[in-house]
Amino acid sequence: MTAAAPAFRVAELRRRSRRPALAPAPPGTVSLAMGEPDHPTPPPVVAAAVAALRGGATHYADQKGLPELRAALAAGLPARPGRPWTADDVVVTHGATAALAAVVAATVGPGDRVVIPEPAYSLYADLVVLAGGTVDFVPLAPDLHWDLDALAAALPGAAMVIFSNPSNPTGIVHRRQELETLGALLDGSGTLVVSDEAYHRLAHPGHTPVPALAVPSLRDRTVYVQTFSKTYAMTGWRVGYLAGPRAVVDAAAQVHRTGNGSLNTAVQHGALAALELPDRVVDAMADTYRQRRDLAVAHLSGVPGLHLVPPEGAFYGFLRYGTGVPSEAVARALAEQKVLVRAGAEYGPSGEGHLRISFATAEDDLWTGLERLVRYFRSARR
Ligand SMILES: Cc1ncc(COP(=O)(O)O)c(C=O)c1O
């Protein structure tokens, strides 16, 4: 090994990861690739952070997060009968990314198997690879909900199962019955559940997500991961948090403070202000994603060879195409046609033959991008 060679696990990550390095779209290109709200952060959040800075909030914060922010977050968790959540059950992190990284590093090691229903948010598998664990991908059912029989076969002996709900990349909202069955399948096991609910406020009518912490059979084994990024259009602020069994939370807090230190103090004051926003502020943003979802479903339905399971939440559509061309090659060809999308293969083996389209983009751009995409597939079929 030379001094400049990456560590073994980094080399392994480079070999296995399908996550692309992301760059801004070149001029003239429309991006349907980013999982990032196009709305500005609500002004009261910005004002609170500025006021905090002016007021002297320029020093280190508590390493687990501002106590008042943690207390407010604990108060927002689903009730836990007999053991109310407290500030000590919550760790504020550098986005959900650092929450996920901390919990995986804190609980997964060599020899540990982690079940990931896939296609799944691609960060999960990469974190397991970095931690030296083994990824056990379990394909979803054709309707993109969990294949519970396949999960029943895979779960025994697993150290962890990890998923997002609503799901990135599929746009599916897993139902209460799916969560309850997962809880029943895990009964008596030591398997930890990591429920990443980054899109919990972005669900389409009739698909209200059930938090895993509200399911009695999951409550005591679930680490809940949340972020301000999507709900409040705060991706650049980098605020997330986790809550769950105290021993896991404490271990994750130790990993987080070792790798990250405390979170920017003023940013946490912004997060406190976000929690005070009236519901209608978030609802108004969610409405725009819903309208764009409807636009995309209408635009893509009836196009020969394309199939979109109508998204139930988040701001993604997972589009199946039938040309047989690998999704990374399709994404490259579409980039040449000036529309950026994400290759389905990024999200796991069953993602091949799919593209992920983000609706978190202005309606005109969405329309232009979909036109270009449909034109590509029409000419590919000729
Ligand atoms: C499911 C899911 N979890 C976590 C994240 C990361 O969120 P954050 O910006 O808080 O790191 C994303 C971002 O795309 C996501 O889609």
Best substitution site from 121, 122, 318 to test ligand 1's pocket, by max atoms within 8 Å of Cβ? Answer: 121
What is the token pair recorded at 41? 């952060």
Best substitution site from 92, 104, 123 to test ligand 1's pocket, by max atoms within 8 Å of Cβ? Answer: 123
CA–CA dist 134, 136 (Å, integer)? 6
pLDDT of residue 322: 87
Give domain status of residue 10, yes or no. Answer: no
Average per-residue pLDDT for the chain:
96
Q: What secondary structure letter does DSSP report for 327?
A: H
Rounded (to 5) percent helix, strand, coil in the chain? 45, 15, 40
Q: Report the share of the chain in percent with pLDDT over 70.
A: 99
For residues 328-338, give the mean pLDDT: 96
Co-location of 314 and 352 in the same domain: yes
Q: What secondary structure letter does DSSP report for 59?
A: S
For residues 292-311, give the mean pLDDT: 92
For residues 274-302, give the mean pLDDT: 94
Please tell me if the CB atom of residue 197 comes closer than 6 angstroms to any atom of ligand 1: no
Which parts of the chain fold into alpha helices (H)?
8-16, 43-54, 67-75, 95-107, 123-131, 148-154, 176-186, 216-219, 246-259, 265-276, 279-300, 327-336, 363-381
pLDDT digits (tens, 9 = 90+) for 197-218: 999 999 999 999 999 999 999 9
Co-location of 258 and 368 in the same domain: no
Co-location of 174 and 95 in the same domain: yes
Nearest CA to ligand 1 atom 7: 96
For residues 258-266, give the mean pLDDT: 96
CATH number of the CATH domain containing 326: 3.90.1150.10
pLDDT of residue 198: 98
Co-location of 33 and 47 in the same domain: no
Co-location of 198 and 72 in the same domain: yes
Please tell me if the CB atom of residue 229 comes closer than 6 angstroms to any atom of ligand 1: yes
Q: Give the strands of the sheet with 316-321, arranged side by side.
A: 306-308, 316-321, 354-358, 342-343
CA–CA dist 312, 331 (Å, integer)? 24
Determine the distance separating the centroid of ligand 1 and the alpha carbon of 63, expressed in angstroms. 21
Give domain status of residue 263, yes or no. Answer: yes
Q: What secondary structure letter does DSSP report for 237?
A: G
CATH number of the CATH domain containing 204: 3.40.640.10
Best substitution site from 31, 168, 200, 358 to test ligand 1's pocket, by max atoms within 8 Å of Cβ? Answer: 168
Give domain status of residue 297, yes or no. Answer: yes
Co-location of 257 and 334 in the same domain: no
- Residue 240's pLDDT band (cuts 50, 70, 90): very high
Co-location of 149 and 252 in the same domain: yes
Give domain status of residue 239, yes or no. Answer: yes
Determine the distance separating the centroid of ligand 1 and the alpha carbon of 303, expressed in angstroms. 31
Give domain status of residue 122, yes or no. Answer: yes
- Name the range with the highest mean pLDDT among 74-78, 302-306, 361-365: 74-78
Determine the distance separating the centroid of ligand 1 and the alpha carbon of 164, expressed in angstroms. 9
Determine the distance separating the centroid of ligand 1 and the alpha carbon of 190, expressed in angstroms. 26
Number of domains observed in the structure of the chain: 2
Nearest CA to ligand 1 atom 4: 96
What is the token pair recorded at 230? 């999507």
Co-location of 136 and 220 in the same domain: yes
Closest ligand 1 atom, residue 167 Cα: 1
For residues 334-359, give the mean pLDDT: 96
Determine the distance separating the centroid of ligand 1 and the alpha carbon of 104, expressed in angstroms. 15
Co-location of 33 and 54 in the same domain: no
Domain finish residue from 276, 307, 339: 276
pLDDT of residue 1: 53
Side-chain-side CA neighbours of 102 within 13 Å: the count stands at 33
In which residue are the tokens 């991961």 written?
A: 225
Give domain status of residue 17, yes or no. Answer: no
Please tell me if the CB atom of residue 227 comes closer than 6 angstroms to any atom of ligand 1: yes
Q: What secondary structure letter does DSSP report for 260?
A: T
Co-location of 34 and 55 in the same domain: no
Best substitution site from 92, 224, 227 to test ligand 1's pocket, by max atoms within 8 Å of Cβ? Answer: 227
Instruction: Note every long-range contact of 208-215, with CB atoms under 8 Å and residues 24 or more positions apart, other chains counting.
Output: 208/173, 209/165, 209/166, 209/173, 209/174, 209/313, 210/175, 210/176, 210/179, 211/77, 211/78, 212/165, 212/179, 213/77, 213/78, 213/80, 213/243, 213/244, 214/78, 215/176, 215/179, 215/180, 215/183
291 has pLDDT over 70? yes
For residues 361-378, give the mean pLDDT: 95
pLDDT of residue 2: 65
Please tell me if the CB atom of residue 240 comes closer than 6 angstroms to any atom of ligand 1: yes
Please tell me if the CB atom of residue 369 comes closer than 6 angstroms to any atom of ligand 1: no
Nearest CA to ligand 1 atom 14: 35
Co-location of 60 and 30 in the same domain: no
Domain finish residue from 276, 308, 335: 276
Give domain status of residue 59, yes or no. Answer: yes
pLDDT of residue 89: 98
3 has pLDDT over 90? no
Q: What secondary structure letter does DSSP report for 342?
A: E
Give domain status of residue 6, yes or no. Answer: no
Domain finish residue from 235, 253, 276: 276
pLDDT digits (tens, 9 = 90+) for 134-187: 999 999 999 999 999 999 999 999 999 999 999 999 999 999 999 999 999 999
Nearest CA to ligand 1 atom 16: 168
Co-location of 194 and 290 in the same domain: no
For residues 336-365, give the mean pLDDT: 96
Domain limits for position 243: 43-276
CA–CA dist 227, 273 (Å, integer)? 14
Please tell me if the CB atom of residue 164 comes closer than 6 angstroms to any atom of ligand 1: yes
